[in-house]
Structures are given as C-alpha cells and as structure tokens.
Amino acid sequence: MPGAARHVRDLPREVADAIDEVADVIHEVADLIVDIADLMHDVADFMHQVADVIDEVPDVIDELLDVINEVADVTHEVRDLNDDVADVIDEVFDPISGTYCQLPVTGAASFDRCGPASRMGLPCLGASSMGLFSKISDRIFNRRKASAPAAAPASGTPAPVIFTGSKNDPKVSPPARNPAPAATPAPAQPAEPVDVEAVLGGIAEEKGGTSDWRNSIVDLLKLLDLDSSLDARKELAAELGVNAGAHGSAEQNIALHRAVMRKLAENGGKVPDELKD
C-alpha cells in the first residue's frame, strides 16, 4: 500500500501548514484588536477634550456676563452724564429764556413765549425747557385764542369840522359848547373757559378725523404734533405725578390721559367728566 504510506507521510506537513494558517489568522485578529484599542484610545482622548471644552463654557459665560454688566454700567454712567449736562444747560439758559421768551404780550395769545425773541431775530431758548404738559395746554388754549374773532377797534375821535363863513361851509350844526359826556363802556365780560373737547375735535377733523385722542395719550400727543415716545411719556408721568403701572403699559397710558384732562380742567379748560374719570 504505497499510496497510503505516502498519505500518512504527508499528513504532518498538511497539519503544519494548517497550523501556520491558523497562526496567521490569529496574528491578523491580534492586529485588529490592537487597531481597535488604538481607536478606543483616540475616542477617549477626544472625549477628554470635549469635557475640557464643556468645563470652559461656564467660564466663558461668566466672562460674557461680566462684559454685559460693564456695558450696562457704562450706559448708566453716560445717561447720568447726559442728565448732568441737561441740568447745566437748563441752569445756563433758564435766566435767558425768562428774559427773551417769557414776556407777556398783547394780541391773539395772552402769553407768547417766543414773540420777543423771534422779533429780535433770536432763537427761542425757553421753548425747549417747557414741560410736555405746558406744550399740550399751549397748543390747546392758544389755538382757541388764535381762532377767536378779533374785537372791533374802538371808533376814534371824529375829524374836526372847520367853518370859514363861506358858502362852501359844511351843512352841519356846530358842536355844542358843552358836549354830552361820552358813554361809559360796558364792563368786559369774563373770558369763557376753553372747550377742550371742541378744540381737539376740530384739530382731529382737520387731520382726517381718525385720531383716538379721547382714549389714547399717544394719539392725543400725535394730534398736537408733540413727541409721543416712551421717554416723552415717562417725563409727562413724572411731571404730573402719575405712578400707575409700568412705563409704557396700558394702565399708565390711561392714567396719563386722565391726568392730562384733569390738569387742563384745573387750568381753565372745559373738559367732559367722562374724559377726566
């Protein structure tokens, strides 16, 4: 049986070859395990880096908050500086505005704040220092006075009649030696209160009649061509002592509107009760 003997003789070699192939596979698996281990190390390093970044985020947020607080502090300081500058300007110009812009005058308006200054070619310095309510009342009351008909001028002394004794003398009787005393003029009637509702209604009609000035302080200010911004309403609230609600809220706006109407009534205006209460 020479074939069987040859097969038995070759078997160890085949087994050795198989063992070599298994060893190669084991080496490849080992290399793969090493690669996986290296990848896991890389992932671990990346996770550590991410953790470090996450740890730095609160510090960055704290730095941003510090910057925001510093900006807010600078803004407050600038606002305070603006207020100080405004106070200095008011102290400088108030005496000047009292001299040039607040002199009583006669005519359609009983109190012309800028008449003397404008006639002298000077800017009205007092107008800028007027409170917002003063501007509101000025627009309403002075509009009424400006629209009132001017009183007829009093008749002057008649021209003298001269008699020369000629035929051309006027055919009139000469004046009496003791003329009758002139009639005493009737006492002036007290001024009627300004009908605020009528004045504002007339302005609204001239501008198209779409204003809600009866309920809205913003529309009322716009109707009178005045500043209706939140800052202006804050100043008006401080001027009238209105503390209802937050600045800009509906509650404060309603309280401001009613306070303005009550103040107009206190200053001689005729205001319906439903606009004051």
Query: 86-136 pLDDT, tens per residue?
Result: 878 877 765 554 444 433 333 333 334 444 444 444 444 444 457 899 999
Q: How far apart are CA 15 and CA 4, in angstroms?
A: 17
User: 270 in helix, strand or coil?
Assistant: strand
| Percent above pLDDT 70 for the chain | 66
| pLDDT tens sequence across 192-222 | 789 999 999 899 998 887 889 999 999 999 9
Compare 84 and 272 and report the one with higher pLDDT.
272
Joined tokens for residue 234: 């804050």
CA distances from 219 to 99, 177, 207, 265 (A): 34, 67, 12, 19
**194-195/269-270 β-pairing:** parallel
For the segment 218-231, the average pLDDT, to the nearest whole number, is 93
Least confident of 58-62, 119-123, 150-154, 165-169: 119-123
- Output the CA–CA distances (angstroms, integers) from residue 72 to 62, 65, 66, 80, 244, in the order listed: 15, 10, 10, 12, 27
Return the domain boundaries, the chain: 131-148+193-277
Q: How much is the pLDDT for 122?
A: 45
